[in-house]
Structures are given as structure tokens and as C-alpha cells.
Amino acid sequence: MPSGLPFAPHVVMDLLSLLDRCIALETGASEVYGLLAERFADDGELEELWRSMATDERRHAHKLATWRALVAAEHPDHRASTSGFADAVTALEGFVAHARAEARRCTTADAAFALALALETSELDAIYTQLLQSSPIARFPDLAETVRSETAGHHAALLRIVQARSRDDGNLLRAALLATHGDDGVIE
């Protein structure tokens, strides 16, 4: 990059590639929660939480796959390109792979909470909701409503259990930070 530029140029990515990568990310997040459900099968409350969160992430992947099918049906010359997502998606791919490995080794509720809170405070939901909002399958007129609809339920369930059961100050702090973002992703 030439010196003196105040910004890095955005990498342009075709929409199908971006959707493929984001579907894989949402599927990976679902796998993390599925692994946690298996690890905590002897704790009904935690198993239920992790299974519910895995289901939510699978729904996210399904919605993106629905949009992908619509894009794939378009003539290739009419398909959109995107920019501004490549670096964040690449970083998330590494993070989700790491989270999957951590979930396989997870032995304590607090370690599981830390992993879930890291996922839920990553850019994964932000990218997902931005993509969903810009798709033809968006249900709401603005991004705040989409964020609320797509994330508030599982965030609330996670926060309730973390606040009731965690003994780790870092988890409690991260949960408090997630809670301050409210249902619309905006810090209150």
C-alpha cells in the first residue's frame, strides 16, 4: 500500500463467496455449541442452553443459504460484489476454528461461558445481521430491528445463566458488556 493513504483499500469479494464463508461461520458456531451440549449432557440447564444456541446458529446459516440460492439463480453478470468484509471474515474463520478446538476440551461451565461470550461478542452476529438486513429475505425495515430479532433471545438466555452460575469475574464482566449493548446492538 502506498504510504500516506489514511485507509487500507477494501478487498472486493463476490457475494456468493461471502455468503459461502458466512454460512460456514454460522455452521461452525453451531458446531461449537453442539460440542458444548455434548460436553455438558449431565447438566440439563446447560445442555438445553447450548442446544438452543446451536439451533439458533443453524437458523442463521439456513437464512444465509436461502439468500445464497437466490443469488446463485441470478445471471452471473448481475451478481453483486461486496467490500469491507474480507478481513473480519478471515479473522472469524480462525476464531471459530479455535473455538471448535476449545469446545472439544472444555471441562468447566465457566470455560464454556467464556467461549460462548467470546463468540457472542465477536463480529459474527454483526456481519450476519448486516448481510441479512441487506438481503431480499429481510423481515424488518431497519438494522436495529433485525439485530433485536436475530440475537436478543439467545443473548438473554446466555446472560441469564452466566449471571446466575458463573464465578469468573471475566465472564461476569463480558456478560455485563454484552448486556449493555441492548437488543439493538447499541450501547445503552
Span 109-157, pLDDT tens digits: 999 999 999 999 999 988 988 888 888 877 777 777 777 777 778 899 9
Cα torsion 92, 93, 94, 99: sign = positive
Report the top-level CATH class of 12-180. mainly alpha
Amino acid 186: pLDDT: 40
Average model confidence (pLDDT) for the chain?
Answer: 87
Domain ranges of the chain: 12-180
Report how far residue 152's alpha carbon sits from residue 92's, in angstroms, rounded to the nearest whole number.
21
pLDDT for the residue 161: 97
Query: What percent of the chain clears pLDDT 90, i.e. is strictly above it?
Result: 62
pTM summary value? 0.86
pLDDT above 70 covers a percentage of the chain that reads 89
The predicted pLDDT at position 182 comes to 56
Positive or negative, the Cα torsion across 162, 168, 174, 180?
positive
